[in-house]
Homo-oligomer: A and B are copies of this chain.
Protein backbone atom coordinates (compact mmCIF):
# COMPACT_ATOMS: atom_id res chain seq x y z
CA UNK A 1 0.00 0.00 0.00
CA UNK A 2 1.43 3.35 -0.98
CA UNK A 3 2.04 5.78 1.83
CA UNK A 4 0.47 9.16 2.06
CA UNK A 5 2.92 11.96 2.49
CA UNK A 6 2.30 15.44 3.59
CA UNK A 7 -0.57 14.10 5.62
CA UNK A 8 -0.44 12.49 8.93
CA UNK A 9 -0.66 8.75 9.25
CA UNK A 10 0.58 7.02 12.36
CA UNK A 11 -0.36 4.40 14.80
CA UNK A 12 -3.32 2.44 13.61
CA UNK A 13 -5.88 1.72 16.25
CA UNK A 14 -6.14 -1.79 15.11
CA UNK A 15 -2.81 -2.08 13.43
CA UNK A 16 -2.95 -5.80 13.91
CA UNK A 17 -6.32 -5.86 12.19
CA UNK A 18 -5.65 -3.74 9.18
CA UNK A 19 -2.08 -4.81 8.63
CA UNK A 20 -3.36 -8.23 7.69
CA UNK A 21 -4.43 -6.75 4.40
CA UNK A 22 -1.45 -7.95 2.36
CA UNK A 23 -1.66 -11.43 3.86
CA UNK A 24 -5.35 -11.86 3.27
CA UNK A 25 -8.23 -10.28 5.04
CA UNK A 26 -9.29 -10.96 8.59
CA UNK A 27 -12.78 -12.43 8.70
CA UNK A 28 -15.33 -9.86 9.78
CA UNK A 29 -16.29 -11.78 12.91
CA UNK A 30 -12.68 -11.68 14.04
CA UNK A 31 -12.40 -8.00 13.20
CA UNK A 32 -15.41 -7.39 15.35
CA UNK A 33 -13.93 -9.15 18.31
CA UNK A 34 -10.71 -7.19 18.02
CA UNK A 35 -12.57 -3.95 17.57
CA UNK A 36 -14.87 -4.57 20.45
CA UNK A 37 -11.96 -5.48 22.66
CA UNK A 38 -10.26 -2.29 21.62
CA UNK A 39 -13.38 -0.31 22.24
CA UNK A 40 -13.78 -1.77 25.70
CA UNK A 41 -10.12 -1.55 26.60
CA UNK A 42 -9.99 2.14 25.84
CA UNK A 43 -13.32 3.07 27.25
CA UNK A 44 -13.19 4.78 30.59
CA UNK A 45 -15.94 5.25 33.03
CA UNK A 46 -16.89 8.88 32.97
CA UNK A 47 -20.31 8.24 34.35
CA UNK A 48 -21.72 11.21 36.09
CA UNK A 49 -18.59 12.41 37.73
CA UNK A 50 -15.52 14.42 36.88
CA UNK A 51 -13.48 12.66 34.32
CA UNK A 52 -10.32 10.95 35.51
CA UNK A 53 -7.96 9.32 33.11
CA UNK A 54 -6.98 5.90 34.33
CA UNK A 55 -3.40 6.00 35.46
CA UNK A 56 -2.36 3.42 32.90
CA UNK A 57 -3.53 5.58 30.05
CA UNK A 58 -2.16 8.81 31.41
CA UNK A 59 -0.15 10.90 29.08
CA UNK A 60 0.97 14.43 29.21
CA UNK A 61 -0.85 16.42 26.68
CA UNK A 62 0.09 19.58 25.12
CA UNK A 63 0.40 20.51 21.64
CA UNK A 64 -2.88 19.42 20.18
CA UNK A 65 -3.47 23.09 20.51
CA UNK A 66 -7.07 23.95 21.06
CA UNK A 67 -8.16 20.51 22.10
CA UNK A 68 -5.27 19.91 24.36
CA UNK A 69 -5.20 23.35 25.91
CA UNK A 70 -8.86 23.10 26.70
CA UNK A 71 -8.35 19.63 27.98
CA UNK A 72 -5.44 20.54 30.23
CA UNK A 73 -7.01 23.52 31.83
CA UNK A 74 -10.09 21.49 32.61
CA UNK A 75 -8.34 18.59 34.33
CA UNK A 76 -8.11 18.32 38.07
CA UNK A 77 -5.54 15.64 37.78
CA UNK A 78 -4.02 16.35 34.44
CA UNK A 79 -3.09 13.59 32.14
CA UNK A 80 0.50 12.59 32.49
CA UNK A 81 1.34 14.72 35.44
CA UNK A 82 2.74 12.70 38.27
CA UNK A 83 0.92 12.94 41.53
CA UNK A 84 3.82 14.83 43.10
CA UNK A 85 6.54 16.00 40.74
CA UNK A 86 9.87 16.00 42.51
CA UNK A 87 12.08 16.75 39.49
CA UNK A 88 14.60 14.18 40.57
CA UNK A 89 16.36 12.26 37.82
CA UNK A 90 14.12 9.43 36.55
CA UNK A 91 15.67 7.11 33.93
CA UNK A 92 12.41 5.30 33.03
CA UNK A 93 10.78 6.12 29.67
CA UNK A 94 9.32 9.61 29.82
CA UNK A 95 10.84 10.29 33.24
CA UNK A 96 12.27 13.71 34.16
CA UNK A 97 15.99 13.88 33.22
CA UNK A 98 17.99 16.38 35.20
CA UNK A 99 20.70 16.30 32.51
CA UNK A 100 18.45 17.57 29.70
CA UNK A 101 17.14 21.02 28.82
CA UNK A 102 13.55 22.12 29.50
CA UNK A 103 11.00 23.36 26.96
CA UNK A 104 7.70 25.06 27.62
CA UNK A 105 4.56 23.46 26.17
CA UNK A 106 4.20 26.55 24.03
CA UNK A 107 7.65 25.96 22.58
CA UNK A 108 6.82 22.29 21.96
CA UNK A 109 3.63 23.28 20.17
CA UNK A 110 5.62 25.20 17.56
CA UNK A 111 7.29 22.00 16.33
CA UNK A 112 4.76 20.38 14.06
CA UNK A 113 6.34 20.21 10.64
CA UNK A 114 9.44 18.84 9.04
CA UNK A 115 10.69 22.38 8.48
CA UNK A 116 10.23 23.31 12.15
CA UNK A 117 11.21 19.80 13.31
CA UNK A 118 8.52 17.52 14.69
CA UNK A 119 8.35 17.23 18.46
CA UNK A 120 6.10 15.22 20.71
CA UNK A 121 5.91 14.69 24.46
CA UNK A 122 5.56 11.51 26.47
CA UNK A 123 5.06 11.94 30.23
CA UNK A 124 7.75 14.52 31.19
CA UNK A 125 9.86 13.92 28.10
CA UNK A 126 10.22 15.90 24.89
CA UNK A 127 11.21 13.99 21.72
CA UNK A 128 12.25 15.05 18.23
CA UNK A 129 10.69 12.45 15.95
CA UNK A 130 11.37 14.20 12.63
CA UNK A 131 13.59 11.46 11.24
CA UNK A 132 11.41 8.67 12.61
CA UNK A 133 8.08 9.76 11.12
CA UNK A 134 8.53 8.06 7.76
CA UNK A 135 9.52 4.76 9.30
CA UNK A 136 6.68 4.66 11.81
CA UNK A 137 5.20 1.16 11.46
CA UNK A 138 1.65 2.51 11.55
CA UNK A 139 2.35 5.05 8.81
CA UNK A 140 3.43 8.66 9.04
CA UNK A 141 0.03 10.32 9.01
CA UNK A 142 -1.11 8.83 12.30
CA UNK A 143 1.99 9.68 14.33
CA UNK A 144 1.78 13.23 13.01
CA UNK A 145 -1.56 13.67 14.80
CA UNK A 146 0.52 14.07 17.96
CA UNK A 147 2.96 16.58 16.42
CA UNK A 148 3.59 19.49 18.81
CA UNK A 149 1.86 17.74 21.69
CA UNK A 150 1.38 14.62 23.76
CA UNK A 151 1.46 11.19 22.27
CA UNK A 152 -0.35 9.36 25.10
CA UNK A 153 -3.94 9.99 24.01
CA UNK A 154 -3.17 8.39 20.65
CA UNK A 155 -1.25 5.49 22.10
CA UNK A 156 -4.20 4.90 24.37
CA UNK A 157 -6.17 3.89 21.29
CA UNK A 158 -3.57 1.51 19.90
CA UNK A 159 -2.98 -1.46 22.14
CA UNK A 160 0.33 -2.22 20.46
CA UNK A 161 1.99 0.67 22.36
CA UNK A 162 0.85 -0.32 25.81
CA UNK A 163 3.88 -1.08 28.05
CA UNK A 164 5.70 -2.26 24.95
CA UNK A 165 9.51 -2.17 25.43
CA UNK A 166 10.00 -2.16 21.64
CA UNK A 167 8.12 1.11 21.45
CA UNK A 168 10.41 2.66 24.05
CA UNK A 169 13.48 1.30 22.28
CA UNK A 170 12.42 3.33 19.27
CA UNK A 171 11.30 6.37 21.22
CA UNK A 172 13.91 6.96 23.90
CA UNK A 173 16.87 7.59 21.54
CA UNK A 174 14.86 10.54 20.18
CA UNK A 175 14.69 12.23 23.59
CA UNK A 176 15.85 15.85 23.52
CA UNK A 177 14.58 17.32 26.79
CA UNK A 178 11.89 17.74 29.43
CA UNK A 179 8.65 19.68 29.65
CA UNK A 180 9.46 22.75 31.74
CA UNK A 181 9.02 22.45 35.50
CA UNK A 182 6.65 25.41 35.42
CA UNK A 183 4.32 23.68 32.96
CA UNK A 184 4.51 20.36 34.76
CA UNK A 185 3.49 22.13 38.00
CA UNK A 186 0.74 24.05 36.23
CA UNK A 187 -0.58 20.83 34.73
CA UNK A 188 -0.65 19.44 38.23
CA UNK A 189 -2.37 22.40 39.86
CA UNK A 190 -6.09 22.26 40.48
CA UNK A 191 -7.97 24.52 38.17
CA UNK A 192 -10.49 26.79 39.86
CA UNK A 193 -13.52 27.07 37.65
CA UNK A 194 -15.71 30.12 37.26
CA UNK A 195 -18.84 29.41 39.33
CA UNK A 196 -20.95 31.51 36.96
CA UNK A 197 -19.88 29.66 33.83
CA UNK A 198 -22.65 27.19 32.89
CA UNK A 199 -19.92 25.20 31.21
CA UNK A 200 -17.70 25.14 34.30
CA UNK A 201 -18.30 21.48 35.01
CA UNK A 202 -17.88 20.05 31.55
CA UNK A 203 -16.20 16.66 31.36
CA UNK A 204 -12.74 16.12 29.93
CA UNK A 205 -12.38 15.13 26.31
CA UNK A 206 -9.86 13.32 24.23
CA UNK A 207 -7.50 15.81 22.60
CA UNK A 208 -7.98 14.16 19.22
CA UNK A 209 -11.56 15.46 19.14
CA UNK A 210 -11.37 18.62 17.05
CA UNK A 211 -14.00 21.01 18.40
CA UNK A 212 -16.31 22.94 16.09
CA UNK A 213 -17.31 24.79 19.24
CA UNK A 214 -16.19 24.43 22.84
CA UNK A 215 -19.20 25.92 24.67
CA UNK A 216 -21.35 23.94 24.09
CA UNK A 217 -18.84 21.27 23.23
CA UNK A 218 -19.09 19.92 19.69
CA UNK A 219 -16.28 17.95 18.20
CA UNK A 220 -15.40 15.25 15.75
CA UNK A 221 -12.49 12.80 15.60
CA UNK A 222 -9.86 12.87 12.83
CA UNK A 223 -11.39 11.10 9.84
CA UNK A 224 -8.44 8.74 9.45
CA UNK A 225 -8.90 7.51 13.02
CA UNK A 226 -12.64 7.20 12.52
CA UNK A 227 -12.33 4.76 9.66
CA UNK A 228 -9.76 2.64 11.47
CA UNK A 229 -12.46 1.33 13.79
CA UNK A 230 -15.68 -0.37 12.90
CA UNK A 231 -16.81 0.30 16.47
CA UNK A 232 -15.74 3.83 17.32
CA UNK A 233 -13.85 3.90 20.64
CA UNK A 234 -15.90 5.88 23.16
CA UNK A 235 -13.29 8.63 23.48
CA UNK A 236 -13.34 9.25 19.73
CA UNK A 237 -17.13 9.19 19.26
CA UNK A 238 -18.17 12.59 17.89
CA UNK A 239 -19.84 14.87 20.44
CA UNK A 240 -22.85 17.06 19.64
CA UNK A 241 -24.04 19.03 22.67
CA UNK A 242 -26.60 21.81 22.27
CA UNK A 243 -26.32 23.05 25.87
CA UNK A 244 -24.05 22.61 28.88
CA UNK A 245 -23.57 19.02 29.98
CA UNK A 246 -25.82 18.46 33.02
CA UNK A 247 -24.49 17.00 36.27
CA UNK A 248 -26.80 14.17 37.16
CA UNK A 249 -27.24 13.13 40.77
CA UNK A 250 -28.23 9.48 40.56
CA UNK A 251 -29.87 9.62 43.99
CA UNK A 252 -32.64 11.75 42.50
CA UNK A 253 -32.67 10.52 38.91
CA UNK A 254 -35.98 9.20 37.56
CA UNK A 255 -37.34 8.81 34.07
CA UNK A 256 -40.93 10.00 33.67
CA UNK A 257 -42.99 8.16 31.07
CA UNK A 258 -46.55 9.06 30.09
CA UNK A 259 -48.65 10.87 27.57
CA UNK A 260 -51.92 12.54 26.85
CA UNK A 261 -54.67 10.39 28.34
CA UNK A 262 -52.15 7.89 29.72
CA UNK A 263 -51.15 7.06 33.28
CA UNK A 264 -47.81 8.58 34.28
CA UNK A 265 -45.00 6.27 35.41
CA UNK A 266 -41.62 6.95 36.96
CA UNK A 267 -38.66 4.63 36.78
CA UNK A 268 -35.26 4.81 38.42
CA UNK A 269 -32.49 3.50 36.20
CA UNK A 270 -32.40 0.33 38.30
CA UNK A 271 -36.15 -0.14 37.90
CA UNK A 272 -35.86 0.20 34.12
CA UNK A 273 -33.08 -2.37 34.12
CA UNK A 274 -35.13 -4.75 36.25
CA UNK A 275 -38.52 -4.40 34.58
CA UNK A 276 -37.62 -4.67 30.91
CA UNK A 277 -35.64 -7.05 28.76
CA UNK A 278 -32.12 -5.87 27.97
CA UNK A 279 -31.24 -5.36 24.31
CA UNK A 280 -27.92 -4.83 22.56
CA UNK A 281 -27.58 -3.22 19.17
CA UNK A 282 -24.86 -1.71 17.01
CA UNK A 283 -26.01 1.61 15.54
CA UNK A 284 -24.40 4.57 13.85
CA UNK A 285 -25.31 8.08 14.93
CA UNK A 286 -24.83 10.92 12.47
CA UNK A 287 -25.41 14.60 13.11
CA UNK A 288 -27.83 16.07 10.56
CA UNK A 289 -25.14 18.74 10.06
CA UNK A 290 -22.37 16.28 9.13
CA UNK A 291 -20.38 17.58 6.12
CA UNK A 292 -21.85 21.06 6.47
CA UNK A 293 -18.38 22.47 5.73
CA UNK A 294 -18.54 20.75 2.32
CA UNK A 295 -21.93 22.32 1.59
CA UNK A 296 -20.62 25.72 2.74
CA UNK A 297 -18.22 25.72 -0.20
CA UNK A 298 -21.23 26.62 -2.36
CA UNK A 299 -22.57 29.42 -0.15
CA UNK A 300 -22.19 30.48 3.47
CA UNK A 301 -24.32 28.76 6.12
CA UNK A 302 -24.87 29.67 9.75
CA UNK A 303 -23.99 26.80 12.04
CA UNK A 304 -21.17 24.59 13.20
CA UNK A 305 -18.68 23.89 10.48
CA UNK A 306 -18.70 20.11 10.73
CA UNK A 307 -16.19 18.19 8.66
CA UNK A 308 -16.89 14.64 7.51
CA UNK A 309 -16.65 12.98 10.93
CA UNK A 310 -19.81 14.04 12.77
CA UNK A 311 -20.70 10.37 12.61
CA UNK A 312 -19.67 7.38 14.72
CA UNK A 313 -20.70 3.81 15.41
CA UNK A 314 -21.16 2.01 18.75
CA UNK A 315 -22.83 -0.92 20.42
CA UNK A 316 -25.61 0.22 22.72
CA UNK A 317 -27.30 -1.61 25.59
CA UNK A 318 -30.68 -0.65 26.94
CA UNK A 319 -34.37 -1.50 26.80
CA UNK A 320 -36.78 -1.22 23.88
CA UNK A 321 -38.92 1.89 23.96
CA UNK A 322 -41.62 -0.31 22.42
CA UNK A 323 -41.57 -2.52 25.54
CA UNK A 324 -42.03 0.52 27.79
CA UNK A 325 -44.85 1.86 25.63
CA UNK A 326 -46.49 -1.57 25.66
CA UNK A 327 -46.34 -1.33 29.48
CA UNK A 328 -48.37 1.88 29.08
CA UNK A 329 -50.98 -0.01 27.08
CA UNK A 330 -49.96 1.29 23.66
CA UNK A 331 -48.99 -2.02 22.07
CA UNK A 332 -52.12 -2.22 19.94
CA UNK A 333 -51.66 0.28 17.10
CA UNK A 334 -55.40 0.61 16.72
CA UNK A 335 -55.74 1.96 20.27
CA UNK A 336 -53.41 4.89 19.63
CA UNK A 337 -56.16 7.27 18.68
CA UNK A 338 -54.72 10.69 18.05
CA UNK A 339 -51.32 9.91 19.56
CA UNK A 340 -48.79 10.36 16.78
CA UNK A 341 -45.45 11.32 18.28
CA UNK A 342 -43.19 10.32 21.12
CA UNK A 343 -41.49 13.35 22.65
CA UNK A 344 -38.26 13.24 24.59
CA UNK A 345 -36.81 15.75 27.05
CA UNK A 346 -33.25 15.93 28.30
CA UNK A 347 -31.81 17.25 31.57
CA UNK A 348 -29.75 19.80 29.63
CA UNK A 349 -31.34 23.21 30.02
CA UNK A 350 -31.21 26.35 27.95
CA UNK A 351 -30.66 29.74 29.65
CA UNK A 352 -34.39 29.97 30.27
CA UNK A 353 -34.34 26.54 31.94
CA UNK A 354 -36.24 24.88 29.08
CA UNK A 355 -34.93 21.41 28.33
CA UNK A 356 -33.49 20.20 25.06
CA UNK A 357 -36.15 18.13 23.28
CA UNK A 358 -37.00 16.13 20.22
CA UNK A 359 -39.61 13.64 19.02
CA UNK A 360 -40.02 10.70 16.69
CA UNK A 361 -43.12 9.29 14.95
CA UNK A 362 -45.08 6.88 17.13
CA UNK A 363 -44.86 4.22 14.39
CA UNK A 364 -41.07 4.14 14.78
CA UNK A 365 -41.32 4.11 18.58
CA UNK A 366 -43.88 1.29 18.79
CA UNK A 367 -42.43 -1.00 16.16
CA UNK A 368 -40.17 -3.61 17.77
CA UNK A 369 -38.34 -3.75 14.42
CA UNK A 370 -37.75 0.00 14.80
CA UNK A 371 -35.26 -0.96 17.53
CA UNK A 372 -35.57 2.30 19.48
CA UNK A 373 -33.62 1.89 22.71
CA UNK A 374 -33.37 3.78 25.94
CA UNK A 375 -29.69 3.01 26.46
CA UNK A 376 -27.39 3.28 29.45
CA UNK A 377 -24.35 1.61 27.99
CA UNK A 378 -22.05 2.35 25.08
CA UNK A 379 -19.48 -0.22 23.97
CA UNK A 380 -19.69 -2.04 27.29
CA UNK A 381 -19.27 1.04 29.46
CA UNK A 382 -21.87 3.22 31.12
CA UNK A 383 -22.61 6.27 28.99
CA UNK A 384 -20.08 9.05 29.50
CA UNK A 385 -21.34 12.46 30.52
CA UNK A 386 -20.86 13.75 26.96
CA UNK A 387 -22.94 10.93 25.56
CA UNK A 388 -25.93 11.30 27.88
CA UNK A 389 -25.26 9.72 31.27
CA UNK A 390 -27.26 8.04 32.69
CA UNK A 391 -29.76 7.36 29.86
CA UNK A 392 -30.25 8.39 26.25
CA UNK A 393 -32.45 7.60 23.30
CA UNK A 394 -31.02 5.50 20.49
CA UNK A 395 -33.45 5.86 17.57
CA UNK A 396 -31.44 4.09 14.89
CA UNK A 397 -31.67 5.27 11.31
CA UNK A 398 -32.79 8.71 12.48
CA UNK A 399 -30.69 11.87 12.84
CA UNK A 400 -28.76 12.40 16.06
CA UNK A 401 -30.83 15.42 17.09
CA UNK A 402 -33.82 13.20 17.98
CA UNK A 403 -31.71 10.77 20.03
CA UNK A 404 -32.05 12.83 23.17
CA UNK A 405 -29.32 12.49 25.80
CA UNK A 406 -29.62 12.83 29.62
CA UNK A 407 -33.17 11.58 29.10
CA UNK A 408 -35.65 12.72 31.76
CA UNK A 409 -39.06 12.37 30.10
CA UNK A 410 -40.82 10.31 27.41
CA UNK A 411 -44.20 11.76 26.47
CA UNK A 412 -46.68 10.36 23.91
CA UNK A 413 -48.61 13.11 22.20
CA UNK A 414 -50.66 14.08 19.16
CA UNK A 415 -47.94 16.67 18.50
CA UNK A 416 -44.26 16.77 17.76
CA UNK A 417 -41.87 18.07 20.42
CA UNK A 418 -42.46 21.80 20.91
CA UNK A 419 -38.72 22.38 21.31
CA UNK A 420 -36.79 24.85 19.20
CA UNK A 421 -34.74 22.02 17.73
CA UNK A 422 -37.78 20.12 16.48
CA UNK A 423 -39.76 23.14 15.30
CA UNK A 424 -37.23 25.65 14.04
CA UNK A 425 -34.07 23.76 13.28
CA UNK A 426 -33.08 20.44 11.70
CA UNK A 427 -35.32 20.91 8.69
CA UNK A 428 -34.34 20.99 5.02
CA UNK A 429 -35.43 23.56 2.47
CA UNK A 430 -35.08 24.18 -1.24
CA UNK A 431 -31.99 26.10 -2.35
CA UNK A 432 -34.00 29.23 -3.18
CA UNK A 433 -35.21 29.59 0.44
CA UNK A 434 -33.15 32.09 2.48
CA UNK A 435 -33.44 33.60 5.97
CA UNK A 436 -35.79 36.28 4.65
CA UNK A 437 -38.25 33.82 3.15
CA UNK A 438 -37.93 30.73 5.33
CA UNK A 439 -41.03 29.43 7.08
CA UNK A 440 -40.03 26.55 9.33
CA UNK A 441 -43.63 25.33 9.49
CA UNK A 442 -43.48 24.49 5.79
CA UNK A 443 -40.92 21.72 6.05
CA UNK A 444 -41.14 18.50 8.06
CA UNK A 445 -38.66 17.85 10.86
CA UNK A 446 -35.95 15.57 9.56
CA UNK A 447 -36.18 12.01 10.82
CA UNK A 448 -34.41 9.48 8.57
CA UNK A 449 -31.13 10.51 7.01
CA UNK A 450 -30.53 9.91 3.26
CA UNK A 451 -27.64 7.86 1.91
CA UNK A 452 -24.19 9.23 2.78
CA UNK A 453 -20.52 8.40 2.23
CA UNK A 454 -17.16 10.06 2.63
CA UNK A 455 -13.51 9.48 1.83
CA UNK A 456 -11.50 9.37 5.07
CA UNK A 457 -8.14 8.59 3.49
CA UNK A 458 -6.34 10.17 1.76
CA UNK A 459 -7.16 13.60 3.07
CA UNK A 460 -7.73 16.65 0.94
CA UNK A 461 -4.36 18.14 -0.03
CA UNK A 462 -2.41 14.93 0.44
CA UNK A 463 0.64 14.23 -1.69
CA UNK A 464 0.57 10.70 -3.07
CA UNK A 465 3.78 8.90 -3.99
CA UNK A 466 2.44 6.18 -6.28
CA UNK A 467 1.60 7.09 -9.84
CA UNK A 468 -0.23 3.84 -10.58
CA UNK A 469 -3.04 3.70 -8.05
CA UNK A 470 -4.38 5.32 -4.93
CA UNK A 471 -5.73 3.52 -1.87
CA UNK A 472 -8.97 5.13 -0.78
CA UNK A 473 -10.87 4.34 2.45
CA UNK A 474 -14.06 5.66 3.90
CA UNK A 475 -17.47 5.05 5.38
CA UNK A 476 -21.01 4.83 4.02
CA UNK A 477 -24.31 4.87 5.81
CA UNK A 478 -28.01 5.31 5.11
CA UNK A 479 -30.99 6.13 7.27
CA UNK A 480 -34.15 4.10 7.90
CA UNK A 481 -32.25 0.83 8.26
CA UNK A 482 -31.36 0.75 4.57
CA UNK A 483 -28.23 -1.27 3.85
CA UNK A 484 -25.33 0.04 1.79
CA UNK A 485 -25.17 -2.14 -1.31
CA UNK A 486 -22.37 -0.42 -3.23
CA UNK A 487 -19.79 2.34 -3.05
CA UNK A 488 -18.18 3.59 -6.25
CA UNK A 489 -14.98 5.64 -6.33
CA UNK A 490 -13.61 7.81 -9.10
CA UNK A 491 -10.07 9.13 -9.55
CA UNK A 492 -10.99 11.50 -12.38
CA UNK A 493 -13.64 13.69 -10.82
CA UNK A 494 -16.52 11.37 -11.65
CA UNK A 495 -15.89 10.57 -15.31
CA UNK A 496 -15.15 6.89 -14.66
CA UNK A 497 -15.91 4.78 -11.61
CA UNK A 498 -14.33 1.86 -9.81
CA UNK A 499 -15.82 -0.62 -7.38
CA UNK A 500 -14.82 -0.68 -3.72
CA UNK A 501 -14.65 -3.55 -1.32
CA UNK A 502 -17.07 -3.29 1.59
CA UNK A 503 -14.49 -4.35 4.18
CA UNK A 504 -16.69 -4.13 7.28
CA UNK A 505 -20.46 -4.18 7.14
CA UNK A 506 -23.31 -5.18 9.36
CA UNK A 507 -25.74 -8.03 8.79
CA UNK A 508 -28.75 -6.72 10.63
CA UNK A 509 -31.57 -7.51 8.22
CA UNK A 510 -34.06 -5.90 5.86
CA UNK A 511 -34.60 -2.25 6.75
CA UNK A 512 -32.94 -2.84 10.13
CA UNK A 513 -29.39 -2.11 9.05
CA UNK A 514 -28.50 0.51 11.62
CA UNK A 515 -24.70 0.37 11.47
CA UNK A 516 -22.41 1.86 8.88
CA UNK A 517 -20.27 0.16 6.26
CA UNK A 518 -16.53 0.74 5.87
CA UNK A 519 -15.06 0.44 2.40
CA UNK A 520 -11.71 0.48 0.68
CA UNK A 521 -10.34 0.40 -2.86
CA UNK A 522 -7.10 0.58 -4.79
CA UNK A 523 -8.14 2.88 -7.60
CA UNK A 524 -6.03 3.21 -10.77
CA UNK A 525 -4.86 6.77 -11.31
CA UNK A 526 -5.43 8.40 -14.69
CA UNK A 527 -2.49 8.15 -17.09
CA UNK A 528 0.06 10.94 -16.81
CA UNK A 529 -1.12 11.94 -13.34
CA UNK A 530 2.44 12.46 -12.16
CA UNK A 531 2.88 15.95 -10.75
CA UNK A 532 -0.81 16.71 -11.22
CA UNK A 533 -3.78 17.17 -8.96
CA UNK A 534 -6.35 14.36 -9.00
CA UNK A 535 -9.95 14.66 -7.82
CA UNK A 536 -11.21 11.59 -5.97
CA UNK A 537 -14.98 11.17 -5.55
CA UNK A 538 -17.05 8.64 -3.65
CA UNK A 539 -20.76 7.85 -3.93
CA UNK A 540 -22.78 5.16 -2.19
CA UNK A 541 -26.00 3.38 -3.12
CA UNK A 542 -28.39 2.03 -0.50
CA UNK A 543 -30.78 -0.92 -0.65
CA UNK A 544 -33.58 1.29 -2.02
CA UNK A 545 -31.15 2.36 -4.78
CA UNK A 546 -31.04 5.87 -3.38
CA UNK A 547 -27.99 7.80 -4.49
CA UNK A 548 -25.99 10.82 -3.41
CA UNK A 549 -26.30 14.07 -5.37
CA UNK A 550 -23.41 14.89 -7.67
CA UNK A 551 -23.00 18.41 -6.27
CA UNK A 552 -24.26 20.52 -3.40
CA UNK A 553 -25.59 23.49 -5.34
CA UNK A 554 -29.05 22.12 -6.23
CA UNK A 555 -29.45 20.83 -2.67
CA UNK A 556 -27.90 23.69 -0.68
CA UNK A 557 -30.17 24.62 2.22
CA UNK A 558 -29.96 27.44 4.70
CA UNK A 559 -29.45 25.16 7.72
CA UNK A 560 -26.77 23.14 5.99
CA UNK A 561 -28.38 19.82 6.89
CA UNK A 562 -28.45 16.46 5.06
CA UNK A 563 -25.28 17.43 3.20
CA UNK A 564 -24.73 14.25 1.24
CA UNK A 565 -23.36 15.19 -2.17
CA UNK A 566 -20.48 13.11 -3.55
CA UNK A 567 -17.46 13.58 -1.34
CA UNK A 568 -14.56 15.06 -3.32
CA UNK A 569 -10.94 15.02 -2.21
CA UNK A 570 -8.03 16.53 -4.12
CA UNK A 571 -4.62 14.92 -3.92
CA UNK A 572 -1.36 15.70 -5.66
CA UNK A 573 0.42 12.83 -7.34
CA UNK A 574 4.07 13.27 -6.52
CA UNK A 575 6.46 14.00 -9.33
CA UNK A 576 9.88 12.33 -9.12
CA UNK A 577 11.29 15.83 -9.18
CA UNK A 578 9.43 16.63 -5.96
CA UNK A 579 11.84 14.40 -4.08
Contacts and interface: CB of A to CB of B under 8 A. Distances in A.
Please give the count of copies of this chain that the complex contains.
2
Contacts of A444: 485, 543
A522 to B, nearest CB: 15
Nearest to A428: B545
A448 to B, nearest CB: 4
Given A443-B485, A479-B544, A361 B450 contact: no
Q: Main SS of chain A's interface residues?
A: loop
A364 B555 contact: no
A562 interface: yes
Interface stretch (A57-65, A94-102, A104-112, A496-504): A496-504
Interface residues of A, number: 49
Contacts of A560: none
A541 interface: yes
A446 B549 contact: no
Given A444-B543, A480-B511, A554-B539, A432 B485 contact: no
A435 interface: no
A289 B146 CA distance: 53
Nearest to A451: B546
Contacts of A362: 510
A546 B369 CA distance: 22
Interface of A: 333, 361-364, 367-369, 428, 430-432, 443-444, 446-451, 479-480, 482, 485-486, 488, 494, 496-499, 509-512, 539, 541, 543-547, 549-551, 554-555, 561-562
Given A363-B509, A431-B488, A539-B554, 16 more contacts: A333-B368, A363-B511, A430-B486, A430-B497, A432-B497, A443-B485, A449-B544, A449-B545, A450-B544, A451-B546, A480-B544, A497-B554, A544-B546, A549-B549, A550-B550, A550-B554
Shortest 9 CB-CB contacts between residues of A and residues of B: A448-B544, A361-B510, A545-B562, A546-B546, A363-B510, A450-B546, A450-B545, A550-B550, A430-B488
